[in-house]
Structure 1
Amino acid sequence: MNPTGLGIVHISLLPGFVCRTDQRIADLSDIQQRLVAALVLSDRPVRRGDLAARLWPDAPPARAGARLRQTLWRLNQATAGGLLRASHTTITLADHVEVDYRTAAALISTASGAGGAQVSGDRLPHAWSVLRHPLLTDWDDDWLVPFQEKWKLQRVQTLEHLAEKFLQRRQHSAVLELADAATQADPLREGPRRIAVQSCLCVGEVADAHRRYRRYRELLFSELGVAPSGAIPQLLRQDRERQLALTAEY
């Protein structure tokens, strides 16, 4: 529970920064937003000196520390002190703050567990809603780039993993939704394309399967000057052979 009376505080980093309370959207400055984002992306309290150096890398340590103190004071004023927990040496988010990025990270952990995909069909819209967005898409800070790249890889791998699991369950509408979301995030990745083609073939959408492969082949050649692996052509060839065998029986 939030002791300041602001109610639940929710931080969104997917795809852009928003700070909401039960009452309103907090109007935070760019540097205040970056301070909060840096705390969200850390899984432990951050030392004041490290945080100051990250946010003001070109400033001398004393000046960066002074700017950090000023930013913290203004942030506490803007949020009635309900967002952070600070000591003399470290800063972290308050326990009652909810963050979409951390919710998504927990979903990735669940979906990638030893038991396979634990996301049921009725939870698919929620899974898709938190995994389809990039991290702070309009920010290009140097310190943020590794987090953005890691998040992109994690969400694409998870979407592909879930698509594979739903393919095994023959839930083909979910397969295409997940595979297409992974493809949108990483158009050159072959795994989601292969899964989508296989799903189309399973439900008899042969023309769509060929169209998807043709578009991927053209994109890959245009961007990298290479051809796809033989995995998708093999699926198409095997399906063609099955169709010919069925025709021969009649």
Structure 2
Amino acid sequence: MDHRLRLAPVVQVDLHTVRGLAQGAVADAEPPADPEWLVARLGEELLPVWADEWLVLERERWDQVRLHALESLAQRLRRDGEYLAALQTALTATEIDPIRETAHRILIEIHIAEGNTACAVKRYKAYQRLLRSELAVEPSPLMTRLVQDLTTAQSDVGRA
């Protein structure tokens, strides 16, 4: 006789549902039916009030899944011209991990796609200040080039 406790097959675990949708977003499958719902779920921490040590690694795994999904979804929304949804999605990723460069880079790319050069430069400078104060490092050359291209283009226009 098996004496283990198990969930009934009819019970759905929300983490499993959201993880499946997140993996679909990363795989560049069909866009989710309700992107706002998915972004809201991906913005949630795993068992935030529990202090159990076994959760440390599980939280890290969940954070990586949701960061990759949010970034992929934000890029897709940007490509589709849905800039507000893309910005909100990328901002959710920066809330999860404020020093993660890819999320900030996507925000800059969204501002550029919208034609908001000043917002893109402002986002870069805020990220640069954060890295300098927290880690005493600079943004990557890839990110710096992204903004240098903007400021160089603006300087060229000003000289014309």
| TM-score, normalised via structure 2 length | 0.89
CA distance in 2, matches of 1:109, 1:229: 27
* Contact in 2 for aligned 1:117/1:162 (Cα 8 Å): no
CA distance in 1, matches of 2:131, 2:110: 21
Letter in 2 for 1:206: T
CA distance in 2, matches of 1:88, 1:188: 47
Whether 1:125 and 2:36 are equivalent positions in the alignment is: yes
Query: Deviation string for 1:11-61 (max 9, x for gaps)?
Result: xxxxxxxxxxxxxxxxxxxxxxxxxxxxxxxxxxxxxxxxxxxxxxxxxxx
Q: 1:202 aligns with which of 113, 126, 137?
A: 113
CA distance in 2, matches of 1:187, 1:226: 14
- C-alpha RMSD of matched pairs (Å): 2.0
Query: Deviation string for 1:174-214 (max 9, x for gaps)?
Result: 21111100000000100010010111122122221122111
Q: Secondary structure at the match of 1:90?
A: coil
Which has the greater radius of gyration? 1
CA distance in 1, matches of 2:69, 2:77: 12
* Structure 2 counterparts to residues 134-149 of structure 1, below 5 A: 134-149=45-60
* Contact in 1 for aligned 2:70/2:93 (Cα 8 Å): yes
Q: 1:88 to 1:136 in 2, by over 3 A?
A: same
Measure how far apart 1:89 and its partner are.
3.9
Letter in 1 for 2:31: V
CA distance in 2, matches of 1:234, 1:117: 30
Aligned residues: 160
Q: 1:221 to 1:246 in 2, by over 3 A?
A: closer
Query: Deviation string for 1:220-247 (max 9, x for gaps)?
Result: 1111111111222212222234445566
Q: 2:133 aligns with which of 214, 222, 245?
A: 222
Letter in 2 for 1:144: L
Letter in 1 for 2:30: Q
CA distance in 1, matches of 2:130, 2:157: 33
Query: Deviation string for 1:134-190 (max 9, x for gaps)?
Result: 101111101222111110111011111111222222221121111100000000100
- Which position in structure 2 is the counterpart of 1:156? 67
Q: Secondary structure at the match of 2:119?
A: helix
Whether 1:236 and 2:147 are equivalent positions in the alignment is: yes
CA distance in 1, matches of 2:81, 2:145: 20
Letter in 2 for 1:139: W
Identity %: 32
* Contact in 2 for aligned 1:194/1:231 (Cα 8 Å): no
* Structure 2 counterparts to residues 66-85 of structure 1, below 5 A: none
* Contact in 1 for aligned 2:25/2:31 (Cα 8 Å): yes
- Which position in structure 2 is the counterpart of 1:179? 90
Q: 1:117 to 1:214 in 2, by over 3 A?
A: farther
Q: 1:188 aligns with which of 74, 79, 99?
A: 99
Q: 1:102 aligns with which of 16, 36, 61?
A: 16
Measure how far apart 1:217 and its partner are.
0.8
Gap runs ≥5 in structure 2: none
CA distance in 1, matches of 2:156, 2:127: 28
- Which position in structure 2 is the counterpart of 1:73? none
